[in-house]
Amino acid sequence: MHAYCIEGGYPIKGTIRASGNKNAALPCIAAALLTDEPVLLRNIPDIEDVQVMLAVYRALGGQVHATSPNEYCMSLGNITTSEIPEEYARKIRASILFTGPLLARTGKAMLPPPGGDVIGRRRLDTHFLVLTELGATVTGNGAFTFTAPALQGADIFLDETSVTATENALMAAVLAAGETILTNAASEPHVQDLCRMLVSMGARIQGIGSNILIIQGVKRLSGCEFTIGIDFMEVGSFIGLAAATRGELTIQGPLLRDLRPAKIAFGKLGITWEHEDTAVYVPPEQTLRVNCDMGGMIPKIDDAPWPGFPPDLMSIVTVVATQVTGTVLVHEKLFESRMFFVDKLIAMGARIVLCDPHRAVVSGPTTLSGAELHSPDVRAGMAMVIAAMCAQGNSIIRNVYQIERGYENLALRLSSLGGRIHRMG
């Protein structure tokens, strides 16, 4: 099993280019299933989750060719099976994103239980809701079979603002007969990317970027060339790393509009950055101090569906807060197990009170000590990397497979910035 060996106490410094958005790449790969013409996807991050999704596409009968770094040409004339292989489904929750396209193309989809991060209960009910509203029938318990001889547009209210359920509904609805209205839809930048890709294939979608999407079904979609947007989760992680290590970093690629929620949340920790054109500059030696609310009250950093602060950055702000003067309440509202990784930070010397599965009070700054750690999921794993790079002494992080599901060539890229990080195994 691979691991990272990290010697802490060295500020990062330099320039790095942001990777393509993992959470846009995965549904866009699934969307390539909606046409029998070639699809060229650019700016695809070289991460484990992408490789698993491409493997599913191949297993369904598709051909995939890497035409250049981070670029793939995909083609699938005739789908040879409607069954998503269990070996891939259990590796990645995003395997469920093939359900909508399979129903639209073949009228059937067989889904084993999807895997992914263990960060709490991650219900599938909203997927079932949107697909049954479009005319599908679902049978099974654990493994599911979806059938829909003909999808029909519908007026659908999502019972939660689920990103993947919104994406599944979009991919099914674009080839359904008639009009579909999705209310309480997710509107994250990666959902917008999927919408723009579908439009470039000939889909008719209104309301992109809002929580009400109107889709006029079409009979077929064509191939396309599409470039995935920048991964603002990765950008937020690197901003946090630079600030926590007192480093200096330029990140090329991010769009200012995608960073506005993060700028408010990081600002509560005294972290600032400059933004010019398509680059972010994090200055060195920032005065990291909690900015209290009016009346000197302890501030709260909490997550919310877009355009709120992304839940995927909650682990990052938690570890960064250990290096900031003052006290802050971190409130992770969506997943009841995401905050459990703070036990490892406490063992390293962090002053954190875990109030309940969703809330933690962090007081800093504290000097962290190197430790042996185990990554439970993508974002907590990256938080552990930040903690290890701040700590005194050496740390070993195991199960880095989880981290590399979301961060491209992380050890190599951080080494190029002066981080003392080595990938073992």
Q: What residues contact residue 257 under an 8 Å CB cut-off, 6+ apart?
A: none
Q: Cα 347 to chain center, whole Å? A: 27
Instruction: Retrieve residue 213's tokens.
Output: 């999407």
For residue 297, list its beta bridge partners: 293
Q: What is the DSSP-derived secondary structure letter of residue 293?
A: B
Axis-axis angle for helices 232-244, 314-321 (nearest 10)? 10
Q: What is the DSSP-derived secondary structure letter of residue 311?
A: G
Q: Cα 265 to chain center, whole Å? A: 18
Pairing state between β 351-356 and 359-364: antiparallel
Q: What share of the chain is helix, strand, coil (3-state, %, to 5)?
A: 35, 25, 40
Backbone angles phi, psi at 274, to 5 degrees: -105, 150
Give the angle 276-281-284 at the CA atoms, nearest 5°: 150
Q: Is the dihedral of CA 131, 24, 276, 408 positive or negative?
A: positive
Instruction: Retrieve residue 130's tokens.
Output: 């949107």
Q: Which residue do the tokens 């919408």 mark? A: 195
The whole-angstrom separation of Cα 257 and Cα 272 is: 16
Q: Which residue do the tokens 């990291």 mark? A: 288
CB 153 within 8 A of CB 217: yes
CB 365 within 8 A of CB 397: no
- Residues annotated as part of the active site: 117
Residue 177 Cα distances to 57, 79, 104, 218, 276, angstroms: 25, 21, 10, 7, 45
